[in-house]
Amino acid sequence: MSAVLVEESAPVRAPLHDRRARAVLALARFEARRLLLSVPVVIAFVAYVAWIVWRTRDSWDGHPVLQDADRATQSMPMLVGLAVLLGAARAVVRSERHGTEHHFSVLVLRPWHRMAGHALSVVPAALLTAVCVAGQFGWEALKAGAVGHGSPAELAVGPLTVLAFGALGVLVGRLTMAAFAAPLLVVVLLFVFVLGTGPSGASGLSWLAPVVATTGPDPLPSDLLGRPAAWHALYLAGAALSLALLAVAVAGGRTAAVRAGLVLSLAATVTGGILQAGGATPSKELTAARERASVHPELTCAEHGGSRYCAFPEWAPRTGTWAGVVDRVQAVAGGSAHDRPLVVRQRIDARYGPGTDAAIPALTGAGQVTVGTAWGGNRVPEFSSAVAAVLVAGSEAAGSELCDGRMVTVMWLSLSWQDDPMGALRRVRLDDSVTGSAIVLSPTDPLSMTEGQTDVVRRLLENPPAGTGARVTEHWAELTAPGVTTARVAELLGVPGPKKADSCED
């Protein structure tokens, strides 16, 4: 045998650990690029962005409450997460499927280094989701009517969900090494988390789901939400890290650092899980605060045009908008109602937490009007109806009991100045109709219109006779007198009256 001696050819390179870490990062970049360009992930992101644009253009009618808007960013990332899960699992089983494992096993990066690369490859998808979440939330926050405060922990849920689903895909791929496992899992998760109704958040266990996005019709002040958002974010982050490190450990990476990381991440998951479950039940302090906010709220008040507007501090910027509506209603009113000082008070029923739709009783005090925490869209004619009812009947409670011709006056005051009076009439009625009797929504107890009143109001709004405004001012006392008939009101305002006499039984 010959024995020619040769110089070692390997060049001097960076220190071993540094070189390996950089190679793992290079692998993560390579896999991330393929993942982000894979068909399911591209489709998911396109659908996600399209959904953001479609939804956010006119969400909350341009008046978002940011402590609800943050939770609205959480559901769609689950779809992205499922696509990332699929892509990550496919990437992990790729070598096994295509028979490159026996080759790659003799290359420098060990299987668990590759697994670390796969686990890291889902991070850019999570970051891209974070960009989408920031875009969606930023869009809401920049709307002129936005109030409130978003929670970073709530905003982190979307990206963390993608991260956790991606890490789950890596682990499932590594454990099964089968191409069919991830699609099966995706189908199951799709039914459980995406197509299902979703957890309510009422029980501690329901917080084990990635997204617990309970929202009700009336947003609550952020300090009354009582959502264990920070613990949930810790739980999700811990779960994502645990799944990723578990995949690395299963692939052979049982170094002290991996084991320590796994212990810490599991501890974070368990801690977050336990504390979020505990946080699902309102504390005594929170219950008391919700009770106070419902019964004797601490409101910030401001004067606008002689009326007083009291709002929860987060809604203080909105008092000017409410004053604009009150001014428009009073502008078409007559008599003392034209410049009667009102007290507009923001009221909520927070006793049952977010996600509930509790009725708020009408105020009995004279000149007091309730406004809710939601605004825009139907809430505007609902509020203007309440203002008009107070101006005509004296109080909210009295307004909710109107069943005579004064109801025509109320609806004229409420709707005649709106951009689309007939549209507003339709929207403010519970059944979205403009004929027949109907319930008229308001922030507290609803009002009611008979068929005859509806006919008269419709005639007034569709083709108001010339000088209707002047007639309202001129005949204000009679138009707002208790017991005035609908026929008489119609006559005073110059439109045909109803065929039947008023009846509160309609």
- The residues binding another protein (CB under 8 A) are 1-10, 13, 16, 19-20, 22-23, 25-27, 29-30, 94-95, 98-109, 114
For residues 101 and 420, which CB has a smaller minimum distance to another protein in the complex? 101
Burial 323-340 (b: 16+ CB within 10 A, else e): bebbebbbebbbeebeeb
CB of 182 to another protein, least distance (A): 17
Q: Mention every residue, 6+ apart, whose C-beta is less than 8 A from residue 231.
A: 271, 272, 275, 276, 279
For residues 96 and 401, which CB has a smaller minimum distance to another protein in the complex? 96
427 and 378 in contact (C-beta within 8 Å)? yes
Host H or E run for residue 267: helix 256-280
For residues 4 and 195, which CB has a smaller minimum distance to another protein in the complex? 4
CB of 83 to another protein, least distance (A): 17
Q: Cα–Cα–Cα angle for 399, 350, 223, nearest 5°?
A: 130
CB of 246 to another protein, least distance (A): 22
CB of 167 to another protein, least distance (A): 21
CB of 41 to another protein, least distance (A): 14
For residues 47 and 109, which CB has a smaller minimum distance to another protein in the complex? 109
For residues 104 and 191, which CB has a smaller minimum distance to another protein in the complex? 104
CB of 2 to another protein, least distance (A): 5
CB of 4 to another protein, least distance (A): 4
* d(C-alpha 38, C-alpha 26), whole Å: 18
Burial 430-465 (b: 16+ CB within 10 A, else e): eeeebeebbebbbbbbbbbbbbbbbbbbbbbbeebe
For residues 99 and 483, which CB has a smaller minimum distance to another protein in the complex? 99
C-alpha distances (whole Å) from 404 to each of 100, 118, 389 are 84, 72, 12
How many Å from the N-terminal Cα to the C-terminal Cα in the chain? 113
Region of 442 please: left (phi>0), alpha (psi -120 to 50) or beta.
beta
For residues 96 and 506, which CB has a smaller minimum distance to another protein in the complex? 96
